[in-house]
Amino acid sequence: MANLECRLLAFRAKDARNIRRYLMKEFSFEFLHCQIASAIVVSLTVVCTPAQSLLAQEQPRKNAGSASNSPMAQLLKREIISPNVALEEVQSFLESRIPRMPTARNAAEWQKHADQLRSQMLDQVVFRGQAAVWRSAKTKVEWLDTIDGGPGYRIRKLRYEALPGLWMPAVLYLPENLSGKVPVALNVNGHDPNGKAAPYKQIRCINLAKRGVLVLNPEWFGMGQLRGQMSEHYRMNQLDLCGTSGLAPFFLAMTRGLDVLLSLENADPERVAVSGLSGGGWQTIYISALDTRVKLANPVAGYSSFLTRVRHLSDLGDSEQTPSDMATVADYAHLTAMLAPRSALLTYNAKDDCCFASGHALPPLLEAAAPIYKLFGQESRLRSHVNHDPGTHNYEKENREQFYRLVEEHFFARKSEENSKEIPSESEVKTKEQLQVELPAENADFHSLALDLSKSLPREAALPSDPVAAKLWQQARRPVLHQIVRTHNYTAHAEQIAQDEAHGVQATFWKLKLAGLWTVPVVELTRGEPKATTILVADGGRTNALDQVNRLLALGNRVLAVDPFYVGESKIKSRDYLYALFVAAVGERPLGVQASQLTAIARWSQAAHQSGAVAIVAIGARCSLAALVASALESQAIDGVELHGALGSLKEIIEQNWAVNEKPELFCFGLLEAFDVKQLTALAAPTPIVFPNASDRVKKELANIQDWYKLFGVEYQPW
């Protein structure tokens, strides 16, 4: 009896209440059903529950200040990879996956390819999920009051629906004494808090109106009137999580704006212009490349090619500029060439202090587009301009006059220098209050749209209720999860960097090179002869997991303290979340990279240490999700998972209104559409997934998950 008790106490329990699983493996079935076995289990449960189990609750940290400088802490802080490794590896990873411009022998061949790219971009990137329904909705417009503009024009206020329930405020500049068909222009703006009231934008609108152009000046998400209305751009990825393109509202806001303009009696559909600065420049290239109703495009300091962005951190774009899977179809070089043979003016600034400086951003775009314009015999329709005065991130007078010149030449056939000069109109600029447009009190935004979508997700939430169906469900759903998170079967090659010792703890420092793509730093810690192996990951990196390291060592575990992609030592030092968005844009998923790294490390440890399958202990919502996905897909090398601070539901990401710049790997496109935490846990069975100090949400969402494990012959308590 004493011998049995000692063996059980040495056992690396997945939970004290799972000791019965161990007994079933080590002893006869008949023995387990006798009274003495029951007594042993009850007795040992009491002994193991407080702190001896691997899955025991975390104890409060003592002497935190001194612990951070302890010898153990110093071992965890030891540098394994150089500071630039994470950045260099993700840059190489991205460069190898960005599509290059194809060769085209003639205009017809290119046109066919461009039409195909346009269709793929719209169907596979812009209008995914519920966005396909939004796309087919009729454009609704509500015309409001008219105010005085200035000499020769009036300003009419309006609002229009970008998609059902989401209204965009806008103002229309109406030239006086209109007759016949006249040009129209969509003037979009970028990341300017003044939005449609930005003086340089108003002056552009006024000048076009005085030239006889109908001009729509719409607001942009998160700017001007829409500032602070939960439409900040990094929240569009809440829609991505639901399997609906967060890019769609941006694109629909532009296409509906064109609808409004072209519905006007005097609008000439053959003379349609779009222009804007920065984020407005991005809007310009996107709508102009994908909507051929645009006949003249002038993006100003708004984008560069993906290949350029990889090495120029200033150019890494926000969520809408780097949408999931875009680079599986096209680069911005392709979009620039897709403007052909229509009129285009690419404007950049020589000393841009924001992004897209002319020296590195412009040449690759011209190199891609110029040969295509030549195929059409329209070389003169592709122009570029580099601003030197002031040369900073601007759409000031000189840049505006370049735009006026193009409009005059291509829409009015007027080429005199005088016609391109700006008409003084600073005194006619309105205040933001004067341009304010009333909006519905419950106007939709990214957050409210995601909340509505999430209510019916995941789409196939029900779990089977019999053992055969349960296993078939797992077999069918694992490939679905693999496809969503884009996991890979990485091979690991270990390079030992150094060894050290502190207070009886042996430390081995490893570089694990995975598939020649990623270098993952690992600190292996042991005290005496380890009885089992545990991978430890934490949102704050391994240096913030000291308490768990000490706990696991005390239980006799070999601890592999790991910093996977985007975490701890593997965290990119600058603009890290923008690179995470970039990874999704090339068709991969940060969550999938992390999960693939964890499974590769588990397989490596299993082979290298000959100690059987490993457990994973994860700390924080981000690493917990990666560990859960890894366990759902890897049943041989992972035999237990402990999740501290895990979400009870992916819906919490939306409910708490998190943004992708805070926790980028959580916003995996379409994950919530197919799986929630409960379904991911069900996929992992019979591997126990335990939630120490489980939140009320965890307990609510995973209620009765024990019944699922019983279908696999496992008695299991998740907390």
DSSP string, 23-37: HHHHS-HHHHTSHHH
pLDDT tens digits, residue range 230-252?
668 999 999 999 999 999 999 99
Helix 19-26, helix 35-48: angle, nearest 10: 130
Residue 178 in 3-state DSSP? coil
Strands 614-619 and 532-538: parallel
User: Mean pLDDT per segment of 10 residues, for the chain of length 719 residues?
Assistant: 28 36 32 30 30 39 57 97 96 98 97 98 98 97 98 98 98 96 97 97 98 98 86 92 98 98 98 98 98 98 98 95 98 98 98 97 98 98 98 98 97 90 98 97 96 97 97 98 98 98 96 98 97 97 98 98 97 94 98 98 96 96 98 96 98 97 97 98 98 98 97 94
Residue 218 in 3-state DSSP? strand
- Cα dihedral 104/109/110/113 (nearest 10): -110
Strands 638-644 and 614-619: parallel
Task: Return the pLDDT at 700.
Answer: 98
Task: Return the pLDDT at 67.
Answer: 63
Buried b (16+ CB within 10 A) or exposed e, 568-584: bbbebeeebbbbbbbbb
Return d(Cα 706, Cα 712) in angstroms, integer.
Answer: 10
**447 CB-side CA count, 13 A:** 19
Buried b (16+ CB within 10 A) or exposed e, 666-705: bbbbbbbbbbbbbbbbbbbbebbbbbbebeebbeebbeeb
- Tell me how far CA of residue 421 lies from CA of 395, 397, 424, in angstroms: 15, 9, 9
Location of structure tokens 């090179």: 513
For 486-507, the DSSP string reads T-----EEEEEEEEEEETTEEE
Task: Return the pLDDT at 417.
Answer: 86
Is the separation of the CB atoms in 322 and 585 below 8 Å?
Answer: yes
Strands 182-188 and 267-277: parallel
Angle at CA of residue 175, ends 274 and 180, nearest 5°: 85
Q: Of 498, 604, 490, nearest to 558 (Cα)?
A: 604
Return d(Cα 12, Cα 174) in angstroms, integer.
Answer: 76
Query: What type of residue sits at position 126?
Result: V
Q: Which stretch of DSSP H or E encloses residue 703?
A: none
Task: Return the pLDDT at 5.
Answer: 27
Rg (CA), the chain: 30
Count Cβ atoms within 10 A of the Cβ of residue 517 and give its class: 0-12 exposed, 13-18 middle, 19 or more buried: middle
For 513-575, the DSSP string reads EETTTEEEEEEEEESSS-SEEEEEEETT-GGG-HHHHHHHHHTTEEEEEE--TTSGGGS-SSS
Is the separation of the CB atoms in 649 and 679 below 8 Å?
Answer: no
Return d(Cα 380, Cα 370) in angstroms, integer.
Answer: 10
pLDDT tens digits, residue range 633-664?
999 999 999 999 999 999 999 999 999 999 99
Return d(Cα 296, Cα 270) in angstroms, integer.
Answer: 10
Taking the CB of residue 182, how many other CB atoms lie within 10 A of it? Answer: 18
Is the separation of the CB atoms in 608 and 658 below 8 Å?
Answer: no
Is the separation of the CB atoms in 299 and 276 below 8 Å?
Answer: yes
Count Cβ atoms within 10 A of the Cβ of residue 169 and give its class: 0-12 exposed, 13-18 middle, 19 or more buried: buried
Structure tokens given for 255: 């296409």
First to last CA, the chain: 28
Task: Return the pLDDT at 62.
Answer: 44
Residue 401 in 3-state DSSP? helix
Angle at CA of residue 168, ends 162 and 174, nearest 5°: 110
Task: Return the pLDDT at 57.
Answer: 39
Q: Which stretch of DSSP H or E encloses residue 646?
A: none
Sequence-separated (6 or more) residues with CB below 8 Å from residue 550: 72
Q: Of 333, 336, 332, 346, nearest to 386 (Cα)?
A: 346
Taking the CB of residue 488, how many other CB atoms lie within 10 A of it? Answer: 17
Structure tokens given for 5: 């008790």
Task: Return the pLDDT at 438.
Answer: 97
Return d(Cα 15, Cα 667) in angstroms, integer.
Answer: 31
Taking the CB of residue 272, how many other CB atoms lie within 10 A of it? Answer: 24
Residue 469 in 3-state DSSP? helix
Task: Return the pLDDT at 40.
Answer: 31
Return d(Cα 280, Cα 321) in angstroms, integer.
Answer: 11
Q: Of 618, 643, 631, 638, nearest to 538 (Cα)?
A: 618
Buried b (16+ CB within 10 A) or exposed e, 67-88: eeeeebbebbebebbeeebbbe
Return d(Cα 595, Cα 601) in angstroms, integer.
Answer: 10
pTM of the full predicted structure? 0.91
